[in-house]
């Protein structure tokens, strides 16, 4: 009799196992992988409403880039006392982290207000040592995009390079591993997927959009189109 009871209960037990397994799978895809379970996007910071990571429009020159964290290197070159090379983890652990709410304004007419977390570029420059005569910093991206900004602007405004937004590690679509937070500049100055930082005296350097008629200063209080 005992054996017959066990056989009859077996389908019910299988049903319970199937329900539990299905719930776990559904939860995995809703909540994300185990490494992401404790990651929740911040949408309110000190009473200020923030935009979502998903509020951006995709307008990069070659589409989202997918950078391999394990093989990634950040290079600092040019008019410096010593060239620097960092892995992703070395950058994160070496430099003090800062947070700041900054709005990105795109020339297409949309904007997003995000809590950015990252390190100050001037801290990186302090380690490299800037040589006399240096005027600008050129930022190069994984997709061959580039743009530049004056050193004075970067140091006096505590401009940062971000690795988190709204408390979440930058997704590939948003510029992982590093995104320039060029506050008070148009969005085309906010270089994503940064791979190299070059200190230069070439004030005539023009990045991707600057070569296509955009202003080299990129100031928000001015038109983004360069003068004819």
* Total structural domains within the chain: 2
Clarify whether residues 170 and 191 are in a common domain.
yes
The whole-number pLDDT of residue 33 equals 33
| 207 backbone dihedrals φ, ψ, rounded to 5° | -80, -165
Q: Which of 161, 181, 184 is nearest to 114 (CA)?
A: 181
Token reading at 102: 């900054």
Find out whether 188 and 60 touch, Cβ atoms under 8 Å. no
Tens digit of pLDDT for each residue in 107-126? 999 999 999 999 999 999 99
Tens digit of pLDDT for each residue in 162-210? 999 999 999 999 999 999 999 999 999 999 999 999 999 999 999 999 9
Clarify whether residues 27 and 133 are in a common domain.
no
Neighbours of 113 (CB within 10 A): 16
Clarify whether residues 71 and 21 are in a common domain.
no
Residues 6+ away with beta carbon under 8 Å from 134: 78, 79, 151, 199, 200, 201
Residues 6+ away with beta carbon under 8 Å from 79: 130, 131, 133, 134, 199, 200, 201
Residue 32 CA to residue 108 CA, distance in Å, equals 32
| DSSP reduced 3-state for 128 | helix
CATH number at residue 139: 3.90.420.10
Alpha-carbon distance values, 165 to 54, 98, 191 (Å):
11, 12, 15
The better pLDDT of the pair 35, 228 is held by 228
pLDDT above 90: residue 227? no
Structural domain harbouring 124 = 44-212
Which stretches of 88-211 are DSSP H helices?
A: 88-94, 121-128, 151-156
Q: What is the pTM of this model?
A: 0.82
The whole-number pLDDT of residue 26 equals 34
Clarify whether residues 89 and 169 are in a common domain.
yes
| pLDDT band at 84; cut points 50, 70, 90 | very high
């Amino acid at each position: 009799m005992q054996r017959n009871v066990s056989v009859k209960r077996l389908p019910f037990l299988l049903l319970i196992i199937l329900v539990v397994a299905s719930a776990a799978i559904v939860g995995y895809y809703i909540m994300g992988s185990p490494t992401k379970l404790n990651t929740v996007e911040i949408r309110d910071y000190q009473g200020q409403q923030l935009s979502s990571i998903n509020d951006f429009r995709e307008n990069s020159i070659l589409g989202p880039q997918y950078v391999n964290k394990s093989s990634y290197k950040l290079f600092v070159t040019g008019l410096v006392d010593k060239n620097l090379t960092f892995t992703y983890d070395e950058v994160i652990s070496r430099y003090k982290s800062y947070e700041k709410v900054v709005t990105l304004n795109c020339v297409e007419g949309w904007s997003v207000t995000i809590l950015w977390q990252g390190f100050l570029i001037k801290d990186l420059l302090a380690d490299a040592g800037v040589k006399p005569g240096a005027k600008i910093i050129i930022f190069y991206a994984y997709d061959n995009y580039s743009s530049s900004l004056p050193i004075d602007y970067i140091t006096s405004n505590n401009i940062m390079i971000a690795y988190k937004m709204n408390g979440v590690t930058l997704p590939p679509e948003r510029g992982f591993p590093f995104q320039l937070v060029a506050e008070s500049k148009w969005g085309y100055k906010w270089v994503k997927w940064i791979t190299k930082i070059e200190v230069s005296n070439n004030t005539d350097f023009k990045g991707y959009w600057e070569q296509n008629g955009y202003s080299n200063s990129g100031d928000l209080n001015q038109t983004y189109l360069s003068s004819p």
